[in-house]
Amino acid sequence: MSLIHLPSGASVEQVVECLTEHGYCIIDQAVSEDVVDAVNREMEPYVGTTDDGVNNALGKQTRRSGAVIARSKSSHQIVMHPTVVGATRAFLGRNATKIQLNLTQVISIGPGNKEQFLHRDEFAWDWYDHFPEDFQTEVSTIWALDDFTEENGATRVIPGSHKTKGVATEYTIKDTLAAEMKKGSVLIYSGKTIHGGGPNRTNTWRRALNLDYCIGWLRQEENQYLVVPPELAKTLPIDMQRLIGYDLGAASLGYVREFEDPLVSLYPEEKGDPKIFMTLLEEATKFTPAQVQYDDYEMLPNAETAMEALNAYVGSIGEQEVLNPTLAVKRLQTNLSKIGYYFEMMDLDKSGTTMFAMRHNAGAFNASYDNNPYGEFQEDDGISKHIEGGISLMVTCTPSGNGKSMVEAEIVRNSDTMDEEDI
């Protein structure tokens, strides 16, 4: 069995389909050998002075040389490769309004280096393993600066592993396939895909350019603001400036001064347009419970629309077959908290219906907003002031066999449940 290869002219849609279904793909010779040779030439002085890794995880015969944007001008066209960046935006755009460059490094694997331990790249965020299985946070790329072969340590991948919750270290190299590819080709894979560098059984070094991208509201693994000096950042194309971090990372993350575009930090004599802040807030409503409309930037919430959107969000993460219903609802609690909704947790049986009283930020629904420091948020959620009696999360557990239960969740009006009880 071999890995999936796409031609150099592969479309964004083809790459996204592969990432979604298989967790990876290879684009053959996505850049010319001339570009690769230029990167190798520009990075050589830094690779030559980089220390070997201190443990087997980093590779005791492996050198990892970062700050690639600052050190190699030729790398910029690879960083901004339109198919890779386009596919990354589309793939991660289901979960965030923005993407950013997460890290850059040339990885040089020397003769005799053992295989790297298998891992998921998204574990960079404190080994946090509670991102939902369908919530993509990262797209990683390995560009072949030399031909990749089984013998010289080609990156090894477990196809489909982005859809599993198995612990990466439970797998072995026998479960992997080698990403053999020609110089200038690129392996693209989800941050959830289990992979690792292969053993180098040759007497020559094997080089790769590792470029990773992540959603805009996560902290970058490599601090681009420090490794790319401002004087260099000023010279970059604006799309690249934004990709390395001079952009709002989410609806309200990363602004400077009076809600201005962070790009103005490179040009302090200029005054940025604060409307970009509100524009992104509007764009980000697809990830919030309320469909918010703006008229001179005044919120005009619609309670019915907000309820529909909130239930669409809950339904997408609440309908699942599980062994432990309580754990499933805890995950739902975590996800709802990200958009400002809270409820007190309690243990659930594998059968029956449980009601959880919902709150928004610091206050209960349908409460008085007088002297409430969080009122501005409550008033803007589209629900708090507009649904009399408040709302609750209704969770129903139904046994489905083999000790599992189907967990269904829905946001309901308290007045509706009261009416049903009265009947």
User: In the 3-class helix/strand/coil scheme, how is the chain assigned residue by residue?
Assistant: CCCCEECCCCCHHHHHHHHHHHCEEEECCCCCHHHHHHHHHHHHHHHCCCCECCCCCCCCCEEEECCHHHHCHHHHHHHCCHHHHHHHHHHHCCCCCCEEEEEEEEEEECCCCCCCCCECHHHHCCCCCCCCCCCCCEEEEEEECCCECCCECCCEECCCHHHCCCCHHHCCHHHCEECCECCCCEEEEECCCCEECCCECCCCCEEEEEEEEEECCCCCCCCHHHHCCHHHHCCCCHHHHHHHCCCCCECCECCECCCECHHHHHCCCCCCCCHHHHHHHHHHHHHCCCCCCEECCEECCCHHHHHHHHHHHHHHHHCEEECCHHHHHHHHHHHHHCCCEECCCCCCCCCEEEEEECEECCEECCCCCCCCCCHHHHHHCCCCCCCCCCEEEEEEEEEEECCEEEEEEEEEEHHHHHHHHHC
Contact 354, 388 (CB under 8 A): no
Count Cα atoms within 13 angstroms, Cβ side, for 351: 4
Domains and CATH numbers, the chain: 5-244 (2.60.120.620), 316-422 (no CATH)
Closest C-alpha among 245, 239, 260, 285 to residue 381: 285
Q: How does pLDDT run across 96-135, given as a tens digit for each residue?
A: 889 999 999 999 999 999 999 999 999 899 877 778 888 9
Q: How does pLDDT run across 208-247, given as a tens digit for each residue?
A: 999 999 999 999 999 999 999 999 999 999 899 999 999 9
Return the number of other C-beta atoms located less than 10 Å from residue 177's C-beta: 17
State the chain's mean pLDDT as an integer. 84
The pTM of this model reads 0.69
Q: How does pLDDT run across 19-50, given as a tens digit for each residue?
A: 999 999 999 999 999 999 999 999 999 999 99
pLDDT band at 298 (very low <50, low <70, confident <90, very high): very low
Closest C-alpha among 236, 227, 230 to residue 71: 227
Return the number of other C-beta atoms located less than 10 Å from residue 341's C-beta: 23
Q: How does pLDDT run across 374-386, given as a tens digit for each residue?
A: 444 444 566 666 6
Q: Residue type at 121? A: D
pLDDT band at 278 (very low <50, low <70, confident <90, very high): low
Q: How does pLDDT run across 61-93, given as a tens digit for each residue?
A: 899 999 999 999 999 999 999 999 999 999 999
* Mean pLDDT confidence for 290-316: 57
Question: C-alpha 153: how far from its chain's center?
Answer: 27
How long, in residues, is the chain? 423
Lowest mean pLDDT, pick from 28-37, 150-159, 278-287: 278-287
